[in-house]
Amino acid sequence: MKDITPKDEIYWLNIYQKAVELANAYGFGFMETPVLEEAVLFTRSIGKDTDVVEKEMYVFEDRDGTKVALRPEWTAGAARAYVTHGMQTWPQPVKVWNYGPVFRHDRPQAGRYRQFHQFGCETIGHRHPCLDAELILVGYNFLKDLGISANVQINSIGNAEDRQNYTIELVGYLRSKRSYLCEQCKKRINKNPLRVLDCKEEHCVEVISESPQIIDWLSEDSKNYFMKVLECLDELGIPYILKSTLVRGLDYYSDTVFEYYEDAVEERSQNALGGGGRYDFLIEQLGGVPTPSAGFAMGLERIISILRSKEGNKNILEKEWSRIFFAQLGEQANYRTLKLIEDLRLEGIVVRHNLAKSSLKGQMELADKFGATHTLILGQKEVHDGTVIIRDMDSGNQEIVDQNKLVLEVKKLMKNIIKIRK
């Protein structure tokens, strides 16, 4: 578990803003499902033999004796809501996006938390290769808009019959290599053999590299569908890597599956930034009519970790925010400052200040700590003259402007800052 403090604000609010803008631009409507759901929803949808359900889900009984769970992911809840609210009668496909915390009792390590946040999109009600490609594009552009260069790893796991036939072949192969596998993968052979393909242990990776490939077991329908998805991605110019061992960790997936990775970073040294795929049979499993669907989710803590590590991305984030500080000296200046700050706020300009401080030196030190590019200074003389001093925090240069023109002058400053950083 991890707190989010005001020091992280610039990252979280910028990411949220990007998510809202992007989802709206692609026609997705906001949906929020409860943090608490009946546990059976996830065991039925995700799969009782998956790591999420077996080891990671927070499950407990409420006072009525009902088994409930903290949501470990968004898709199952979205599918349940689609059935609950009769969305099959809405114009199809229903396109929704979600944003918020999910919970998994995972082993604490770099980039993994037991409460973490996701941004995701779901397209429910239609099956078409272009819809898969559009979802992949939305996730790709989300990362791109944040200044992260990413690649898409993609595969097809076919339909249920394809996977059943492939699994028989895979189990036979894994049993012949059992002595080379880690203890966890040895247990997975009989319970959930596809999960072995996700293992990052060195010896397991070597075994997996020689394993049968699911692409050879796809039906003609699944194979043709997958080729059309790739053609759509080619048309969109999205870079992708075919990864024959990519299967994802949840049982509801079928056909197209994909993940996002940062470019120029060795895959084995990082976790996926996000991923998704088709889940054409999930809603039927939950009591609805057969409803083809697809979706993805992005892990926001991992994305923020990358943004923190890149100075260039820090500048991209900062250009979205005003780095203006307002310093004042004296009681009359204090009152007037409050009014001028409100004028700036009404124009969408964020201004930092501390009206409780009376020392100019102390306020300038505070401006430095906030990373202000410019400080507005209002003393008793400026109150009398109807002016404000604007100080450039880098050069120390100052200019005096009329209070009535302050909003206009600050807007000019902000435009110049963005131009310089571009």
Digit-coded pLDDT (tens) for 137-153: 999 999 999 999 999 99
What does DSSP assign to residue 319? T
Q: Reply yes or no on whether the pLDDT at 192 is more than 70.
A: yes
DSSP 3-state of 327: strand
Reported as a pLDDT band with limits 50, 70 and 90, residue 43 is confident
Residue-by-residue DSSP string for 335-365: HHHHHHHHHHHHTT--EEE-TT---HHHHHH
Is 253 annotated to bind ligand?
Answer: yes
Name the token pair of 228.
């059309």
Q: Reply yes or no on whether the pLDDT at 224 is more than 90.
A: yes
Nearest residue to 344 via CA among 361, 326, 360:
326
Is 252 annotated to bind ligand?
Answer: yes
Q: Reply yes or no on whether the pLDDT at 266 is more than 60.
A: no
Reported as a pLDDT band with limits 50, 70 and 90, residue 345 is confident
Reported as a pLDDT band with limits 50, 70 and 90, residue 311 is low
Is 301 annotated to bind ligand?
Answer: no
Reported as a pLDDT band with limits 50, 70 and 90, residue 59 is confident
pLDDT at 238: 93
Task: Please count the other Cβ atoms lying within 10 Å of the Cβ belonging to residue 147.
Answer: 15
DSSP 3-state of 403: helix
Residue-by-residue DSSP string for 243-279: -TT---S-TT-EEEEEEEEETTS-GGGS--SEEEEE-
Q: Reply yes or no on whether the pLDDT at 108 is more than 70.
A: no
Nearest residue to 196 via CA among 176, 171, 213:
171
Where is average pLDDT lowest: 207-216, 281-290, 305-314? 305-314
- The Cα–Cα gap between 144 and 336 comes to 42
How would you list the strands of the sheet with 67-70, edge to edge?
A: 36-38, 67-70, 59-61
- The Cα–Cα gap between 262 and 273 comes to 7
Instruction: Provide the strand spans (E) within 144-228.
Output: 150-156
Q: Reply yes or no on whether the pLDDT at 83 is more than 80.
A: yes
Using alpha carbons only, how large is the chain's radius of gyration in Å?
26
Percent of the chain with pLDDT over 70: 92
pLDDT at 25: 94
Is 256 annotated to bind ligand?
Answer: no
Query: 116 has which bridge partners?
Result: 102
Length in residues, the chain: 422
| Domains in the chain: ranges and CATH | 6-159+219-314 (3.30.930.10), 324-421 (3.40.50.800)
Is 74 annotated to bind ligand?
Answer: yes
Do 31 and 25 touch, CB atoms closer than 8 A? no
Do 388 and 382 touch, CB atoms closer than 8 A? yes
Only one residue has tokens 């056909």, namely: 255
Residue range 253-270: average pLDDT? 80
Task: Please count the other Cβ atoms lying within 10 Å of the Cβ belonging to residue 150.
Answer: 24
Residue with more model confidence, 421 or 287: 287
Is 122 annotated to bind ligand?
Answer: yes
Name the token pair of 221.
């329908």
Q: Reply yes or no on whether the pLDDT at 56 is more than 50.
A: yes
- The Cα–Cα gap between 137 and 128 comes to 14
Nearest residue to 123 via CA among 272, 239, 353, 278:
278
Q: What is the pTM of this model?
A: 0.81
Cα angle, residue 126 at apex, residues 123 and 127 outer, rounded to 5°: 100
Do 56 and 249 touch, CB atoms closer than 8 A? no
Which residue type sits at 271? N
Is 73 annotated to bind ligand?
Answer: yes
Q: Reply yes or no on whether the pLDDT at 99 is more than 90.
A: yes
